């Protein structure tokens, strides 16, 4: 399969479905879900986790996709931005 080029994880971290998995576990436990629902949910969540891990492994991190100038603007102070616009 062709590798997909993505922004490196130091700029945008990989998103795993950990929070949604925990929320589902808490909800199923809270409402006393039957065992067949737990089993169905477990199969689906395993498929989701495998898909996410597979997608992350086939990604190619490419620094050329990052616009370095956008991170420099965060380092400037508000005063510098106001002076650049010509306001006082």
Does 57 have pLDDT greater than 80? yes
Instruction: Report the mean per-residue pLDDT for the chain.
Output: 83
Q: What is the pTM of this model?
A: 0.68
pLDDT in tens, 6-40: 888 888 888 899 999 999 999 999 999 999 999 99
Q: Spell out the domain ranges in the chain.
A: 4-85
Cβ–Cβ under 8 Å, residues 23 and 83: no
Rounded mean pLDDT, 41-66: 90
E strand or H helix at 80: helix 78-85
Query: Could you give the CA distance from residue 58 to residue 4 in angstroms, rounded to a whole number?
Result: 7
What pLDDT was estimated at residue 46?
98
pLDDT at 30: 98
């Amino acid at each position: 399969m062709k590798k997909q080029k993505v922004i490196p994880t130091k700029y945008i971290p990989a998103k795993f479905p950990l929070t949604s998995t925990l929320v589902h576990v808490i909800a199923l436990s809270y409402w006393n879900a039957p065992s067949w629902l737990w089993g169905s949910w477990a199969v689906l969540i395993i498929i989701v986790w495998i898909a996410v891990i597979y997608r992350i492994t086939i990604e190619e991190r490419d620094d050329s996709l990052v616009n370095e100038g956008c991170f420099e603007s965060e380092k400037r102070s508000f005063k510098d931005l106001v002076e650049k616009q010509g306001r006082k």
